[in-house]
Chains A and B, each alone.
Chain A
């Protein structure tokens, strides 16, 4: 099922008197239960299209349709609501809150997403997701005591705890060693399939491509 449609999206920056065109009309449709990988050289615009799709920056033109609603026409507050309840994010760095335990990171995300769960349900859901990502044994640990791979697992758990429809992953394995990269990608793949997520991933690592259902290559602001 097509849940996310990017239509003719452009992005340009004014650099003095020169207008730099980063995206020159990108069209992309994401399908439920699939991982779409965006690849391409640096400066091709792959991270820009991901951040625009995720509502983290505005497009200069075009439309982004999520469940039929045009996100480019939404207010900042509505985009925030969509981000908190419908999207999940995994970045190159885990970006965990340093003073919260693993369990509390997920608890915070449930609060931010304003889920209707009571405390008991929240605890059960956190426990279930931590088991799913293999981190239930470290639920009381603080981020500084976790390894890079463990941090990324917690970041993935935080990204899916509130049952988002779309998972945005910006180079999620870039800071990991080969063994951890494989583990994290396997996890993203497994979760996308089992939870029916729609995943858009930016990567420059060819080893990660076998995990993607579709690979889109970008160059100079267009899909090639």
Chain B
């Protein structure tokens, strides 16, 4: 360990360059991860905040929730058999506020359940982002597809769907607005859920994938994240490979005088861990600071859990990269180094 740190101290610029690159890559990864998570919440917080369970769509909907219609009789039977279950529907739409300003929302209605905000006829509960847009409790909202008015009775946190704030309305109002009697989806919480004839079932994750654009959006961002993680591992492998090539003579002599190969590997590992740890600490601090000052409208959510998971992945990938580069140390013959001359 002493030797590893001595080398880092003596060759500061070399290790600073590597550290800076790892910092930039990890910082970028954290920011993109924050954006991916932010966009994911912006797109589907309504579903992501649900407990684990199974979602049911009718078979004819081809795994597209907006094409699904649950037969009313079947819904009645399932809800009777599973009192904790609920049926719900989501449709994109808009309302006009008291100043006739239009706001896009995702209208959500459900059967009476603890899982969704249940509101009475003519009432509406909105996501809190609309409060920031000037809507207040007691405001009267209108919609050209609805003959009556909605009275705002409250706001809820983190209820978004398809990048729009959610508006919880009563089932009869929803039926009038969208001229449909059936609900789109059934949800039964819990792990052991039944197969229901005529319906396809989806896990929470599976249901998220039925949301148009959700999986495409997340897949692109996740691919960037994993590319960055792999790039950081490759950086370690390339950096240490080049360093090792320069130090073949030194390693050979150290082997000649009796140093164990594992001690040389340990030297690389200590250096890798030190560089990664320092780079990650700076990245974490800056990304958390960015979390606090991110612009209001930017969907950004970076939890400590995500940061720590990604940090652990960085360390593992860095370890693999450094170890792969170290395999050449195993092959070094002391004799070769002695014959090479001065290092």
Contacts and interface: CB of A to CB of B under 8 A. Distances in A.
Nearest to B8: A99
B82 to A, nearest CB: 66
Interface in A77-100: 80-81, 83-85, 87, 89, 91-95, 97-100
B260 A80 contact: yes
Interface residues of B, number: 25
Contacts of B338: 51, 56, 91, 95, 170
B259 A93 contact: no
Nearest to B338: A91
Interface in A42-60: 51, 54, 56-57
Nearest to A101: B6
Contacts of B6: 99-100, 104
Interface string A37-77: 00000000000000100101100000000000000000000
Interface string A174-201: 0100000000000000000000000000
**Among A89, A93, A108, which residue has the most Cβ atoms of chain B within 10 A?**
A93
Contacts of B217: none
Contact of B3 (A80, A100, A113): A100
A84 B259 contact: yes
Interface residues of A, number: 29
Interface in B250-264: 250, 253-260, 263
B7 A99 contact: yes
B334 interface: yes
B101 interface: no
B165 interface: no
Contact of A97 (B250, B255, B341): B250
Contacts of A112: 254, 257-259, 263
Contact of A93 (B11, B260, B342): B342
Interface in B307-343: 333-335, 337-338, 341-343
22 contacts: A51-B335, A51-B338, A80-B258, A83-B256, A83-B258, A84-B257, A84-B259, A87-B258, A89-B256, A91-B338, A92-B341, A94-B342, A95-B253, A95-B338, A98-B10, A98-B343, A99-B9, A100-B6, A112-B254, A112-B259, A112-B263, A113-B258
Interface of A: 51, 54, 56-57, 80-81, 83-85, 87, 89, 91-95, 97-100, 104, 108-109, 112-113, 142, 158, 170, 175
Given A57-B335, A84-B257, A113-B258, 6 more contacts: A56-B338, A87-B258, A91-B253, A95-B250, A99-B11, A100-B3
